[in-house]
A = this chain, B = another copy of it.
Amino acid sequence: MNKHLGKQTIRFDNPPVIIATSSIVGPREGEGPLATYFDTIIEDELYGENTWEKAESKLIEKALDKVIEKANKTIDDVKYIVSGDLLNQLSASTFGIRNFKIPFLGVYGACSTMAESLSIAAIIVEGGFADYVIACTSSHFCCAEKQFRSPLELGGQRPLTSTWTVTGSGAIFLAESGEGPKITYVTTGKIVDFNIKDAMNMGAVMAPAAADTIINHFIDTERDENYYDLIITGDLGKVGKDLVLEILKQYNYDISSKYMDCGIEIYEPDKQDTHSGGSGCGCGAVTLAGYIFSEIGKGKWKKVLFVATGAMLSQVSLQQGESIPGIAHAVAIEN
Protein backbone atom coordinates (compact mmCIF):
# COMPACT_ATOMS: atom_id res chain seq x y z
CA MET A 1 0.00 0.00 0.00
CA ASN A 2 2.98 2.35 0.05
CA LYS A 3 2.33 3.07 -3.61
CA HIS A 4 -0.91 4.90 -2.76
CA LEU A 5 -0.34 8.36 -1.34
CA GLY A 6 -2.97 10.43 0.37
CA LYS A 7 -6.40 10.34 -1.23
CA GLN A 8 -5.91 10.26 -4.97
CA THR A 9 -2.31 9.62 -5.93
CA ILE A 10 -0.12 6.69 -6.94
CA ARG A 11 3.66 6.85 -6.75
CA PHE A 12 5.54 4.61 -9.15
CA ASP A 13 8.63 3.08 -7.61
CA ASN A 14 9.75 1.82 -11.02
CA PRO A 15 8.41 4.58 -13.23
CA PRO A 16 7.23 3.53 -16.69
CA VAL A 17 9.11 5.16 -19.53
CA ILE A 18 7.62 7.02 -22.48
CA ILE A 19 9.82 5.57 -25.21
CA ALA A 20 7.90 7.11 -28.11
CA THR A 21 4.93 9.30 -28.95
CA SER A 22 3.06 10.08 -32.14
CA SER A 23 0.68 12.82 -33.15
CA ILE A 24 -1.52 13.40 -36.15
CA VAL A 25 -3.65 16.50 -36.57
CA GLY A 26 -6.15 18.21 -38.83
CA PRO A 27 -5.55 21.14 -41.17
CA ARG A 28 -6.42 23.84 -38.65
CA GLU A 29 -4.01 22.43 -36.05
CA GLY A 30 -1.47 22.20 -38.83
CA GLU A 31 -1.74 25.98 -39.32
CA GLY A 32 -1.31 26.68 -35.62
CA PRO A 33 1.78 27.55 -33.61
CA LEU A 34 2.62 23.92 -32.74
CA ALA A 35 2.53 22.68 -36.35
CA THR A 36 6.19 21.71 -36.51
CA TYR A 37 5.81 19.36 -33.56
CA PHE A 38 3.28 17.01 -35.15
CA ASP A 39 4.23 13.89 -37.07
CA THR A 40 1.44 14.20 -39.61
CA ILE A 41 -0.90 16.98 -40.71
CA ILE A 42 -3.84 15.77 -42.76
CA GLU A 43 -5.05 17.89 -45.63
CA ASP A 44 -8.76 17.89 -44.98
CA GLU A 45 -11.11 16.83 -42.21
CA LEU A 46 -12.34 13.78 -44.15
CA TYR A 47 -8.86 12.30 -44.57
CA GLY A 48 -9.91 10.35 -47.64
CA GLU A 49 -12.95 8.77 -45.96
CA ASN A 50 -16.60 9.40 -46.68
CA THR A 51 -17.55 10.34 -43.11
CA TRP A 52 -15.87 12.34 -40.35
CA GLU A 53 -16.30 9.44 -37.96
CA LYS A 54 -14.35 7.12 -40.25
CA ALA A 55 -11.72 9.83 -40.58
CA GLU A 56 -11.38 9.97 -36.79
CA SER A 57 -10.93 6.20 -36.62
CA LYS A 58 -8.25 6.51 -39.26
CA LEU A 59 -6.48 9.15 -37.17
CA ILE A 60 -6.23 6.65 -34.31
CA GLU A 61 -5.09 3.88 -36.62
CA LYS A 62 -2.36 6.05 -38.08
CA ALA A 63 -1.27 7.36 -34.67
CA LEU A 64 -0.91 3.77 -33.47
CA ASP A 65 1.02 2.70 -36.57
CA LYS A 66 3.34 5.65 -36.15
CA VAL A 67 4.02 5.23 -32.44
CA ILE A 68 4.84 1.53 -32.89
CA GLU A 69 7.21 2.45 -35.71
CA LYS A 70 8.84 5.26 -33.71
CA ALA A 71 9.28 2.93 -30.73
CA ASN A 72 11.06 0.46 -33.01
CA LYS A 73 8.62 -2.26 -32.02
CA THR A 74 6.15 -4.46 -33.81
CA ILE A 75 2.44 -4.89 -33.24
CA ASP A 76 3.15 -8.19 -31.50
CA ASP A 77 5.24 -6.44 -28.86
CA VAL A 78 2.28 -4.39 -27.65
CA LYS A 79 0.32 -6.09 -24.85
CA TYR A 80 -2.52 -3.60 -24.42
CA ILE A 81 -3.99 -0.56 -26.06
CA VAL A 82 -5.82 1.72 -23.63
CA SER A 83 -7.85 4.16 -25.66
CA GLY A 84 -10.94 6.32 -25.67
CA ASP A 85 -12.52 9.21 -27.52
CA LEU A 86 -15.54 11.48 -27.45
CA LEU A 87 -17.69 9.63 -29.95
CA ASN A 88 -20.66 7.70 -28.68
CA GLN A 89 -19.65 4.20 -27.67
CA LEU A 90 -15.96 5.00 -28.26
CA SER A 91 -16.41 4.23 -31.90
CA ALA A 92 -13.30 6.09 -33.09
CA SER A 93 -11.15 3.88 -30.87
CA THR A 94 -13.02 0.66 -31.58
CA PHE A 95 -12.82 0.98 -35.35
CA GLY A 96 -9.37 2.56 -35.24
CA ILE A 97 -7.79 -0.35 -33.38
CA ARG A 98 -9.93 -3.11 -34.92
CA ASN A 99 -7.18 -4.34 -37.22
CA PHE A 100 -4.44 -4.45 -34.58
CA LYS A 101 -5.71 -7.57 -32.77
CA ILE A 102 -4.31 -6.34 -29.46
CA PRO A 103 -6.15 -6.57 -26.11
CA PHE A 104 -8.14 -3.37 -25.79
CA LEU A 105 -9.29 -1.49 -22.71
CA GLY A 106 -11.77 1.22 -23.64
CA VAL A 107 -11.83 4.22 -21.32
CA TYR A 108 -13.84 7.40 -21.13
CA GLY A 109 -13.10 10.58 -19.25
CA ALA A 110 -14.34 13.07 -21.85
CA CYS A 111 -11.42 15.39 -22.69
CA SER A 112 -9.47 14.01 -19.71
CA THR A 113 -9.16 10.68 -21.51
CA MET A 114 -5.48 11.04 -22.48
CA ALA A 115 -4.48 11.32 -18.83
CA GLU A 116 -6.85 8.50 -17.86
CA SER A 117 -5.55 6.12 -20.53
CA LEU A 118 -1.98 7.08 -19.64
CA SER A 119 -2.67 6.47 -15.93
CA ILE A 120 -4.12 3.01 -16.54
CA ALA A 121 -1.33 2.15 -18.97
CA ALA A 122 1.25 3.23 -16.39
CA ILE A 123 -0.45 1.15 -13.69
CA ILE A 124 -0.36 -1.91 -15.96
CA VAL A 125 3.31 -1.43 -16.79
CA GLU A 126 4.55 -0.54 -13.31
CA GLY A 127 2.54 -3.33 -11.72
CA GLY A 128 4.52 -5.76 -13.86
CA PHE A 129 1.47 -6.82 -15.87
CA ALA A 130 2.94 -5.90 -19.26
CA ASP A 131 6.18 -4.56 -20.71
CA TYR A 132 4.68 -2.48 -23.51
CA VAL A 133 1.37 -0.64 -23.48
CA ILE A 134 0.05 2.13 -25.71
CA ALA A 135 -2.22 4.88 -24.40
CA CYS A 136 -4.13 6.72 -27.07
CA THR A 137 -6.99 9.09 -27.70
CA SER A 138 -8.53 11.24 -30.39
CA SER A 139 -11.09 13.89 -31.16
CA HIS A 140 -12.42 15.45 -34.34
CA PHE A 141 -13.95 18.89 -34.66
CA CYS A 142 -16.68 17.93 -37.10
CA CYS A 143 -17.72 14.76 -35.24
CA ALA A 144 -17.83 16.56 -31.91
CA GLU A 145 -19.83 19.54 -33.16
CA LYS A 146 -22.31 17.21 -34.83
CA GLN A 147 -22.66 14.98 -31.80
CA PHE A 148 -22.62 17.45 -28.92
CA ARG A 149 -23.75 20.75 -30.38
CA SER A 150 -25.42 21.36 -33.71
CA PRO A 151 -24.99 20.43 -37.37
CA LEU A 152 -21.99 22.15 -38.90
CA GLU A 153 -24.18 23.17 -41.83
CA LEU A 154 -26.20 25.34 -39.44
CA GLY A 155 -23.27 27.71 -39.19
CA GLY A 156 -24.42 29.01 -35.79
CA GLN A 157 -22.51 31.72 -34.00
CA ARG A 158 -20.33 30.50 -31.17
CA PRO A 159 -19.95 32.50 -27.97
CA LEU A 160 -16.49 33.72 -26.98
CA THR A 161 -16.41 31.27 -24.07
CA SER A 162 -16.62 28.33 -26.47
CA THR A 163 -13.64 26.25 -27.50
CA TRP A 164 -12.74 24.55 -30.75
CA THR A 165 -12.48 20.76 -30.69
CA VAL A 166 -9.08 19.67 -31.93
CA THR A 167 -8.98 17.23 -34.83
CA GLY A 168 -6.18 14.88 -33.97
CA SER A 169 -4.95 11.77 -32.28
CA GLY A 170 -2.01 11.26 -29.96
CA ALA A 171 -0.46 7.98 -28.88
CA ILE A 172 2.05 7.33 -26.11
CA PHE A 173 4.16 4.17 -26.06
CA LEU A 174 4.97 3.14 -22.47
CA ALA A 175 7.66 0.64 -21.59
CA GLU A 176 8.93 -0.81 -18.34
CA SER A 177 12.43 0.39 -19.22
CA GLY A 178 14.19 2.32 -21.93
CA GLU A 179 15.14 5.84 -22.89
CA GLY A 180 12.73 8.68 -22.31
CA PRO A 181 10.88 10.67 -19.69
CA LYS A 182 9.21 8.70 -16.92
CA ILE A 183 5.76 8.71 -15.39
CA THR A 184 6.42 9.13 -11.70
CA TYR A 185 2.98 9.86 -10.24
CA VAL A 186 -0.64 9.77 -11.30
CA THR A 187 -3.42 11.60 -9.47
CA THR A 188 -6.87 10.34 -10.42
CA GLY A 189 -9.66 12.87 -10.32
CA LYS A 190 -13.05 12.68 -8.73
CA ILE A 191 -16.22 14.15 -10.17
CA VAL A 192 -16.42 17.87 -9.37
CA ASP A 193 -19.73 19.52 -10.15
CA PHE A 194 -20.22 23.25 -9.65
CA ASN A 195 -23.71 23.11 -11.16
CA ILE A 196 -22.73 24.81 -14.40
CA LYS A 197 -25.13 24.10 -17.26
CA ASP A 198 -23.59 26.09 -20.10
CA ALA A 199 -22.22 23.63 -22.66
CA MET A 200 -20.63 26.56 -24.49
CA ASN A 201 -18.40 27.30 -21.51
CA MET A 202 -16.45 24.13 -20.88
CA GLY A 203 -13.57 26.04 -19.35
CA ALA A 204 -15.78 27.08 -16.45
CA VAL A 205 -17.11 23.52 -16.09
CA MET A 206 -13.67 21.91 -15.94
CA ALA A 207 -11.60 24.52 -14.10
CA PRO A 208 -12.83 23.52 -10.61
CA ALA A 209 -11.97 19.87 -11.38
CA ALA A 210 -8.50 20.85 -12.62
CA ALA A 211 -7.88 22.93 -9.51
CA ASP A 212 -9.15 20.12 -7.26
CA THR A 213 -6.82 17.57 -8.86
CA ILE A 214 -3.80 19.90 -8.81
CA ILE A 215 -4.39 20.71 -5.13
CA ASN A 216 -4.80 17.05 -4.23
CA HIS A 217 -1.70 16.19 -6.23
CA PHE A 218 0.26 18.77 -4.25
CA ILE A 219 -1.12 17.55 -0.91
CA ASP A 220 -0.66 13.84 -1.69
CA THR A 221 2.89 14.21 -3.02
CA GLU A 222 3.94 16.97 -0.60
CA ARG A 223 5.02 18.94 -3.62
CA ASP A 224 3.90 22.39 -4.67
CA GLU A 225 4.13 24.66 -7.69
CA ASN A 226 7.83 25.23 -7.09
CA TYR A 227 8.62 21.62 -7.87
CA TYR A 228 7.44 21.64 -11.48
CA ASP A 229 8.90 23.39 -14.50
CA LEU A 230 5.57 23.18 -16.25
CA ILE A 231 2.00 22.55 -15.16
CA ILE A 232 -0.20 22.18 -18.22
CA THR A 233 -3.95 21.55 -18.38
CA GLY A 234 -5.59 19.78 -21.28
CA ASP A 235 -8.19 22.07 -22.76
CA LEU A 236 -9.46 24.74 -20.43
CA GLY A 237 -8.89 27.59 -22.85
CA LYS A 238 -8.57 31.20 -21.74
CA VAL A 239 -11.71 31.23 -19.61
CA GLY A 240 -10.82 28.08 -17.72
CA LYS A 241 -7.16 28.97 -17.33
CA ASP A 242 -7.99 32.22 -15.56
CA LEU A 243 -10.43 30.39 -13.28
CA VAL A 244 -7.86 27.73 -12.33
CA LEU A 245 -5.37 30.42 -11.36
CA GLU A 246 -8.03 32.20 -9.31
CA ILE A 247 -9.20 29.06 -7.49
CA LEU A 248 -5.64 27.97 -6.74
CA LYS A 249 -4.81 31.40 -5.33
CA GLN A 250 -7.64 30.92 -2.82
CA TYR A 251 -5.75 27.85 -1.65
CA ASN A 252 -2.46 29.78 -1.55
CA TYR A 253 -0.91 28.24 -4.63
CA ASP A 254 0.36 30.59 -7.33
CA ILE A 255 1.19 28.50 -10.39
CA SER A 256 0.97 31.42 -12.83
CA SER A 257 4.66 31.54 -13.74
CA LYS A 258 4.74 27.94 -14.96
CA TYR A 259 1.19 27.30 -16.03
CA MET A 260 0.09 26.65 -19.59
CA ASP A 261 -2.98 25.13 -21.22
CA CYS A 262 -2.79 22.91 -24.29
CA GLY A 263 -5.95 24.54 -25.63
CA ILE A 264 -4.27 27.94 -25.59
CA GLU A 265 -0.99 26.74 -27.08
CA ILE A 266 -2.39 24.83 -30.03
CA TYR A 267 -4.13 27.71 -31.84
CA GLU A 268 -3.71 31.41 -32.34
CA PRO A 269 -7.24 32.24 -31.20
CA ASP A 270 -7.48 35.67 -32.79
CA LYS A 271 -6.19 34.60 -36.17
CA GLN A 272 -7.79 31.15 -36.17
CA ASP A 273 -11.28 32.02 -34.90
CA THR A 274 -11.05 29.52 -32.06
CA HIS A 275 -12.32 31.87 -29.34
CA SER A 276 -11.38 30.56 -25.88
CA GLY A 277 -8.96 27.96 -27.35
CA GLY A 278 -8.75 24.30 -28.28
CA SER A 279 -10.51 21.38 -26.62
CA GLY A 280 -11.27 17.69 -27.02
CA CYS A 281 -9.27 14.65 -25.94
CA GLY A 282 -7.13 15.18 -29.01
CA CYS A 283 -6.05 18.63 -27.77
CA GLY A 284 -4.16 17.39 -24.72
CA ALA A 285 -3.11 14.24 -26.54
CA VAL A 286 -1.36 15.82 -29.52
CA THR A 287 0.09 18.65 -27.44
CA LEU A 288 1.57 16.10 -25.03
CA ALA A 289 2.70 13.70 -27.75
CA GLY A 290 4.03 16.49 -29.99
CA TYR A 291 5.03 19.67 -28.22
CA ILE A 292 5.60 18.64 -24.60
CA PHE A 293 7.38 15.34 -25.31
CA SER A 294 9.64 17.03 -27.85
CA GLU A 295 10.56 19.93 -25.57
CA ILE A 296 11.21 17.60 -22.64
CA GLY A 297 13.59 15.76 -24.95
CA LYS A 298 15.36 19.01 -25.77
CA GLY A 299 15.71 19.81 -22.08
CA LYS A 300 13.34 22.80 -21.96
CA TRP A 301 11.38 21.19 -19.12
CA LYS A 302 12.37 18.37 -16.78
CA LYS A 303 9.38 18.11 -14.48
CA VAL A 304 5.96 18.39 -16.05
CA LEU A 305 2.52 17.93 -14.53
CA PHE A 306 0.05 17.11 -17.29
CA VAL A 307 -3.54 17.64 -16.13
CA ALA A 308 -6.16 16.66 -18.68
CA THR A 309 -9.67 17.88 -17.98
CA GLY A 310 -13.04 16.50 -19.00
CA ALA A 311 -16.64 17.69 -19.05
CA MET A 312 -18.87 14.68 -18.52
CA LEU A 313 -21.94 15.87 -20.36
CA SER A 314 -24.16 14.07 -22.80
CA GLN A 315 -26.74 15.57 -25.11
CA VAL A 316 -29.41 13.80 -23.10
CA SER A 317 -28.19 14.89 -19.67
CA LEU A 318 -28.10 18.50 -20.86
CA GLN A 319 -31.57 18.29 -22.35
CA GLN A 320 -32.84 16.86 -19.10
CA GLY A 321 -31.57 19.91 -17.24
CA GLU A 322 -28.61 18.26 -15.55
CA SER A 323 -25.50 20.22 -14.70
CA ILE A 324 -22.18 19.30 -16.32
CA PRO A 325 -19.83 17.40 -14.01
CA GLY A 326 -16.11 17.91 -14.53
CA ILE A 327 -13.16 15.62 -13.92
CA ALA A 328 -9.38 16.01 -14.22
CA HIS A 329 -6.58 13.47 -14.04
CA ALA A 330 -2.94 14.43 -13.49
CA VAL A 331 0.19 12.63 -14.67
CA ALA A 332 3.66 13.68 -13.51
CA ILE A 333 6.25 13.25 -16.26
CA GLU A 334 9.87 13.69 -15.28
CA ASN A 335 13.17 13.39 -17.09
Contacts and interface: CB of A to CB of B under 8 A. Distances in A.
Interface stretch (A123-131, A284-292, A295-303): A123-131
Interface stretch (A63-71, A83-91, A252-260): A83-91
A86 B95 CA distance: 17
Interface in A202-238: none
Contacts of A1: 128, 130-131, 176
Interface in A33-64: 51, 53-54
Contact of A312 (B53, B90, B105, B190): B90
Interface in A5-27: 7-8, 10
A4 to B, nearest CB: 5
B107 A106 contact: yes
A98 B53 contact: no
Number of copies: 2
A129 B95 contact: no
A315 B146 CA distance: 13
B3 A312 contact: no
Interface string A178-213: 000000000011110100000000000000000000
B127 A320 contact: no
Interface in A279-335: 312-317, 320, 322, 325, 327
Contact of A129 (B3, B88, B103): B3
B94 A312 contact: yes
Contacts of A89: 86, 88, 108, 110, 312-314, 317
Contact of A4 (B51, B129, B313): B129
A320 B128 contact: no
A314 B88 contact: yes
Contacts of A189: 103-104
A234 B105 CA distance: 17
Query: Which of A4, A107, A129, A176 counts the most B-chain CB atoms under 10 A from its CB?
Result: A129
18 contacts: A84-B108, A87-B314, A89-B313, A89-B314, A91-B314, A91-B322, A94-B191, A94-B312, A94-B325, A98-B325, A100-B190, A101-B191, A104-B190, A105-B116, A106-B116, A106-B312, A123-B129, A147-B316
Interface of A: 1-4, 7-8, 10, 51, 53-54, 79-80, 84, 86-91, 94-95, 97-98, 100-110, 116, 119-120, 123-124, 126-131, 147, 176, 188-191, 193, 312-317, 320, 322, 325, 327
